[in-house]
Structure 1
Amino acid sequence: MAPSRALLRCTARCTMSSVLRPSPRLLSTACRISSPPSALHPGPLRYSTPIRIQVVAPARRRCYSQDANPPEPPDYLNEAELSIFNKIKAELEPVKLEVQDISGGCGSMYALEIESSKFKGLPVIKQHKLVNKVLAEEIKGWHGVQLRTKAV
């Protein structure tokens, strides 16, 4: 059973006012119940011992290995994609970089996903302006660009 459904089921059975009520914030976390099994029986609500619900936050993932190795261009990139990849890699020193021609092969529209430490402290607009500055000459000949940037 999914954690959110388990939490809903736990709190739905506990109708006493001293027990936690479900909230949107708690529904995205896991639920551990420390109570006697008899208290969880779906029979009549008779609680001789209180039910304690411990909310457990999901673990965060840390990727230390990404910082050590700069991204390498995949072998499936065409010449134009490779040129864009290398230019961004040289200027912005990204941790993650993906370049994709989404125009069907004619090179008029690209999707770029960039994660870099140079974006730290900058709002998204300024991150995009920085990428536009790096690719100013290339962007003049494009129809459009999809940018996804993230500070590391």
Structure 2
Amino acid sequence: MGSGVGLKYSRPSRISDLSRFSQRQRVVNERKLRREREREKEKEEEEEMGVTKEQVKSSLTSKLNPAHLEVIDTSGGCGASFAIEIVSEQFEGKRLLERHRLVNSSLEEEMKEIHALSIKKALTPEQWKQQQESQVSKPAA
């Protein structure tokens, strides 16, 4: 009966059994800690992805069909801040605030991750044309 059969999971009775038990426990704890760190790292990487310049362009293009669109990532690549210049026929007859609301609603999903959106220009094609002509006619200083 004293051959140790059935004592595999019992309390360690000798010092050598105690050290093996603590080694095993240490290995298990290290594995758990490693898995937790990997999960945290994956979560951080997902959060860092943010919104891309291409996603912003794609959403605005599909919803507002712009004649001109310039999107600049002003956040340094993390997708938290953008500057936009947009020209669309959908802005005809709308005030500036309504145009900005159209842009913001077009980026509804992206705005959940964007911290700053600067709409530099929201013009109709006619306004854009006039602006381009006036810039060409101005003499260089």
- Normalization by structure 2: what TM-score? 0.50
Letter in 1 for 2:112: K
The number of residue pairs the alignment matches comes to 74
Letter in 1 for 2:57: F
Letter in 2 for 1:80: T
Structure ranking higher on relative contact order (CA contacts 8 Å, 6+ apart): 2
- What 5-or-longer segments of structure 1 have no aligned partner? 1-78
Higher strand fraction: Structure 1 or Structure 2? 1
For 1:91 and 1:121, locate their aligned partners in 2 and report how far apart those are by CA, in whole Å: 18
SS of 1:85's equivalent in the other structure is helix
1:101 pairs with 2:78: no
Higher helix fraction: Structure 1 or Structure 2? 2
Q: Offset of 1:104 from its aligned partner?
A: 1.2
- Equivalent position to 1:133, from 87, 105, 111: 105
Q: Offset of 1:80 from its aligned partner?
A: 1.1
For 2:79 and 2:65, locate their aligned partners in 1 and report how far apart those are by CA, in whole Å: 24
For 1:127 and 1:99, locate their aligned partners in 2 and report how far apart those are by CA, in whole Å: 16
Moved over 4 A (4+): none
- What 5-or-longer segments of structure 2 have no aligned partner? 1-50, 126-141
Identity of aligned residues (%): 35
For 1:149 and 1:122, locate their aligned partners in 2 and report how far apart those are by CA, in whole Å: 10
1:117 pairs with 2:117: no
CA deviation map 1:1-37 (0-9, x unaligned): xxxxxxxxxxxxxxxxxxxxxxxxxxxxxxxxxxxxx
Q: Offset of 1:101 from its aligned partner?
A: 0.4
Instruction: Please say which structure displays the higher CA radius of gyration.
Output: 2
For 2:61 and 2:83, locate their aligned partners in 1 and report how far apart those are by CA, in whole Å: 15
Cα RMSD of the aligned pairs, angstroms, is 1.2
Q: Offset of 1:143 from its aligned partner?
A: 1.3
- Normalization by structure 1: what TM-score? 0.47
